[in-house]
Amino acid sequence: MNRSLINLHRLSVRYHSNAIHHVTANTGLVMAKRYNSSATSNNSNSSNKNSSEKKQQVDKQNLLLEAQFKQFEKNFIDSENAQQEDPNDSTKEKESFGAKFKRNITSFAVFGFLSFGLAVALTTSDETSYYINNHDAVVSNLINIKDYELLTKRLRHLSEYSASNNTLRDTLAQPKYINAFLNIILEYSDLEINNNAAKVIDNIVDSATDFSFIPKLMEVSQLEYIPSYVRKTLASAISKIALKDEMARLTLASNGAIEFLDEILDNKLYRSKLSLSSLMAICSTCKSIPTTIANQSPKRQELIDKYSNQSIQLESNVLALKTKELKDSGLLLYLHTSAGGFAWGFFESLRNKYPIKRALLNGCKNSIITAAVPIFFVGLMTTLATREFKKLDSPKEKLYFYFGGLYSLFPWYYILPVVERFSPYWIGGHVIGFMSFFTYLAYSDYDLFKSDMVLIQKDRLAPPREVLKKQIEENKSKN
């Protein structure tokens, strides 16, 4: 890109230099003609011999003036070229192999040193192995901790590490531990303690195989005084269980999950695509397996019919089903970035006065790059890194992972200039593509744009739990 700008500036300098030469040369000729005319008119009465001598003298002066203008033009162009000289110009002496090798080795070593330092810093602050080795003692003693700051720290760490480590998640996915976290929600009214305990439950239910904790989970979820964020998070946990196991759906339905999830969908702050999918799965299972669950209340029967029919309609509509699969797969991101890349490359080429054929070619090249880069970094590297990172338990393994991951970015120092030469408009194409994608997500009411901070702020403004309990009891007594 810098080379193109320098070449463009050179053309501009030459253009202006030619213009200066043209103007100055014409000026000199005009002056010469005036001088010639004046000389001729003043000596009109002289002899032919004197006229010839004067004419020769004027011609010499004109030649001298033109030579001066040419020298001025040469000096001007040389000075401009000296200021704008391209360091990569092929006319310059090329860098020797030894100097280039030394420069690359130095860059490689410095980048490695920085990568190792950052990897050490990231590994030092990680305590996953401690919680894996001492999970039973840590969880069992949570209810007995009197120091709120220590309890909050323990729950926050469990929330973070259970989301990023498979071993800890599988270890904690037992009924006794899940019930312990539910007891913490019941015992403490502190919002941060409640939120972290609910988040741990949401993280670990994916690995659960024994669902004997479902009755208590449903009981806590339906309490009127629990915080809004806790309610939404426990609804997410219930939805994950429903999508995981068919028999667990029947247990959930018999404990009021159908009515609970229907209320969740009626509330804009709680509603999510996950809750809808799980509710349709529960109702479809209740419809297909003969049980007495649907007969327990007319409302439940009505909801089972409603959502099971909705599930049947979705499965019968091939277009809607494929659209849902496309949204869930994440391929829409690459389609948006690819389309944005083509649009930006094409219209920027037209703006720069390129012919249509060249503009279409630039659009296609830009489209390829703006699709390939997100596929590599988001679809491949991020997904692969996240999956592999969850398998790591010891600090040593994580140190190697961080160091290797950071060091793997070094080749892009050489790859990105190649990408830049192949498709100069790729950065603008990415901006347009991501703007298009996030605009679509906002317009389609996607869960990604629903911030939990609204619920957390609502909980902070709500009265204390003890006051809420009294208000609920008073309302029940009045009714």
HSE, side-chain direction, 13 A CA sphere, residue 435 = 10
Q: Residue 87 above 70 pLDDT?
A: no
pLDDT tens-digit series, residues 111-149: 999 999 999 998 988 899 999 999 999 998 998 888 889
Taking residue 154's Cβ as centre, other Cβ atoms within 10 Å add up to 19
Among 262, 214, 253, which Cα is nearest to 237's? 214
Which pair of structure tokens corresponds to residue 457?
């702020």
Q: What is the pTM of this model?
A: 0.73
What is the chain's mean pLDDT, rounded? 82
Sort residue 158 into left (φ over 0), alpha (ψ -120 to 50) or beta: alpha
3-class SS of residue 87: coil
pLDDT band at 33 (very low <50, low <70, confident <90, very high): very low
pLDDT of 271 reads 87
Query: Cα(345)–Cα(264) distance, rounded to whole angstroms?
Result: 45
Element (H, E) at 10: helix 2-42
pLDDT of 477 reads 81
pLDDT of 139 reads 92
pLDDT of 318 reads 73
Which pair of structure tokens corresponds to residue 367?
């489209």
Please list the alpha-helical segments (H only) found in 267-330. Answer: 273-288, 298-316, 318-329
Residues 6+ apart with CB under 8 A from 298: none
pLDDT band at 35 (very low <50, low <70, confident <90, very high): very low
pLDDT of 292 reads 77
pLDDT band at 447 (very low <50, low <70, confident <90, very high): low
pLDDT band at 41 (very low <50, low <70, confident <90, very high): very low
Taking residue 453's Cβ as centre, other Cβ atoms within 10 Å add up to 9
Query: Cα(391)–Cα(400) distance, rounded to whole angstroms?
Result: 13
What percent of the chain is modeled with pLDDT above 90?
A: 43
pLDDT tens-digit series, residues 158-208: 999 999 999 999 999 999 999 999 999 999 989 999 999 999 999 999 999
Average pLDDT of span 29-49: 44
Residue with tokens 């959930």: 252
Average pLDDT of span 384-405: 92
Domain residue limits, the chain = 7-83, 128-320, 329-445
Least confident of 45-59, 212-226, 345-359, 407-421: 45-59
Query: Cα(398)–Cα(379) distance, rounded to whole angstroms?
Result: 22
pLDDT of 5 reads 41
Q: Residue 255 above 60 pLDDT?
A: yes
Q: Residue 226 above 80 pLDDT?
A: yes
Which pair of structure tokens corresponds to residue 295?
């007969």
Average pLDDT of span 38-64: 57
Q: Residue 7 above 70 pLDDT?
A: no
According to CATH, the topology of domain 128-320 is Leucine-rich Repeat Variant (1.25.10)
Residues 6+ apart with CB under 8 A from 334: 371, 374, 375, 379
pLDDT tens-digit series, residues 305-343: 999 998 888 877 777 767 777 776 677 888 888 999 999
pLDDT of 314 reads 80
Distances in whole angstroms, Cα of residue 24 to Cα of each of 12, 72, 193: 18, 10, 83
State how far Cα 385 lies from the chain centre.
15
| CB 29 within 8 Å of CB 55 | no
Average pLDDT of span 447-465: 83
Would you give the end-to-end CA distance of the chain in angstroms?
75
Query: Cα(97)–Cα(437) distance, rounded to whole angstroms?
Result: 46
Of the two residues 440 and 459, the one the predictor is more confident about is 459
| CB 122 within 8 Å of CB 398 | yes
